[in-house]
């Protein structure tokens, strides 16, 4: 079999092919793998493009393997059987109540985890498979139902809704906070400032106080906001609290506010889903996430119904 590049076929693509071959239907394969019909169709198209040949004949009542497709299925069946018998790889749960949700590490650890039990168990049981990733993945191609991200607006090819904004304020360890004391905003510039992915939040905070800010050699930057909070808690400088991500950290006393003045962050938090009709379990989880975020019911219903 010839193929268009030397890149390996993704395992998810072969898994979609195997499910469609066994069930004789893209719809049945989608149900089996907890994906949408469109996601299966795109994976098969990707495989056929890679191979340079058809693996299925499409018909009104389903799909049937071509001669080449049957040969490939024999090989993939053997490979999956071998992997299954000789691997300790974690196997994700599948089923109609399973929802694949992706988010960045900070949102996953600081906002989702404290709410995970409520999201999964109220009012009916769901199982959330959480993919922690910093990439802006193709949700449909990767079989992801929902995404929570931090950004400045919608993303083409997705249905997006704003969950909440951030009104940031400076925080530090209790020890450093006592040294900083109270006073005008300029006093904070005597200490290292801790940034996350960029300096936009600190710029916004100082701009709200009528001041300009540019990162300095003594300032620090950490890509993951969890590390930003750790650095502040261990006295390395002043960070910006990003409610509601920092609620537990503030309540525990690990960090404390050093200035009560707030500013609206240029970024906010968004709930995304792929285009097309969402699965029932995904709509249930979207409603629960919206409730936890304090989003009005009519807004989340518009998100669910959009682009069907």
Least Cα distance to 269 among 157, 177, 147, 174 occurs for 147
Distance (Å, whole) CA 18 – CA 77 = 7
Residue with tokens 């409730």: 291
Residue 235 CB partners (closer than 8 Å, separation 6+): 172, 173, 175, 176
- pLDDT of 90 reads 52
For 256-295, how does the pLDDT look when each residue is reduced to its tens digit (9 = 90+)?
Answer: 999 999 999 999 999 999 998 899 999 999 999 999 999 9
pTM of the model: 0.72
100 phi, psi to nearest 5 deg: -95, 120
Residue for token pair 């989702």: 112
Cα gap 32→256, rounded to integer Å: 49
CA dihedral 30, 33, 39, 41 (to 10 degrees): -50
Only one residue has tokens 């193709």, namely 138
| Distance in angstroms between the alpha carbons of the first and the last residue of the chain | 38
| Of 15, 173, 166, 13, nearest in space to 83 by CA | 15
Give the other-Cβ count within 10 Å of 246's Cβ: 26
* b/e per residue 38-59 (b: at least 16 CB within 10 A): bbbbbbbebbbebbebebbeee
Average pLDDT rounded to a whole number, residues 44-62 = 90
What does the pLDDT look like over 97-137, one tens digit per residue?
A: 889 999 999 999 999 999 999 999 988 899 999 988 877 77
* 17-26, 135-144, 175-184, 203-212: least confidently modelled range: 135-144
pLDDT digits (tens, 9 = 90+) for 138-156: 788 788 999 999 988 888 8
Instruction: Provide the percentage of residues in the chain whose pLDDT is more than 70.
Output: 93
Cα 8 to Cα 192: distance, rounded to the nearest angstrom: 46
- Cβ neighbours for 112, distance < 8 A, ≥ 6 positions apart: 101, 103, 119, 130, 148
Distance CA 127, CA 92 (A): 10
């Amino acid at each position: 079999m010839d193929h268009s590049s030397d890149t390996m076929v993704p395992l998810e693509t072969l898994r979609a092919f195997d499910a469609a071959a066994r069930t004789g239907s893209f719809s049945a394969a989608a149900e089996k793998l907890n994906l949408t019909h469109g996601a299966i169709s795109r994976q098969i198209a990707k495989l056929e493009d890679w191979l340079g040949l058809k693996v299925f004949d499409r018909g009104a009542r389903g799909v049937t393997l071509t001669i080449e497709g049957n040969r490939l299925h024999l090989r993939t069946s053997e490979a999956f059987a071998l992997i299954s018998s000789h691997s300790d790889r974690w196997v994700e749960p599948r089923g109609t109540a399973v929802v694949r949700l992706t988010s960045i590490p900070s949102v996953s650890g600081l906002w989702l985890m404290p709410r995970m039990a409520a999201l999964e168990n109220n009012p009916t049981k769901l199982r959330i498979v959480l993919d922690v990733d910093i990439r802006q993945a193709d949700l449909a191609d990767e079989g992801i139902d929902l995404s929570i991200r931090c950004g400045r607006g919608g993303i083409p090819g997705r249905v997006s809704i704003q969950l909440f904004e951030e009104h940031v304020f400076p925080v530090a360890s209790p020890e450093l906070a006592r040294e900083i004391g109270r006073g005008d905003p300029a006093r904070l510039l005597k200490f290292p400032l801790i940034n996350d992915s960029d300096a936009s939040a600190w710029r916004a905070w100082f701009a709200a106080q009528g001041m300009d800010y540019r990162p300095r050699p003594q300032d620090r930057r950490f890509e993951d906001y969890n590390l930003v909070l750790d650095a502040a808690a261990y006295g390395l400088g002043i960070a910006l609290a990003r409610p509601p991500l920092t609620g537990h950290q503030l309540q525990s006393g690990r960090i404390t506010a050093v200035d009560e003045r707030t500013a609206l962050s240029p970024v906010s938090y968004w709930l995304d889903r792929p285009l097309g009709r969402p699965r029932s379990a995904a709509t249930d989880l979207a409603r629960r996430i919206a409730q936890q975020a304090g989003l009005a019911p009519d807004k989340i219903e518009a998100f669910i119904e959009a682009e069907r």
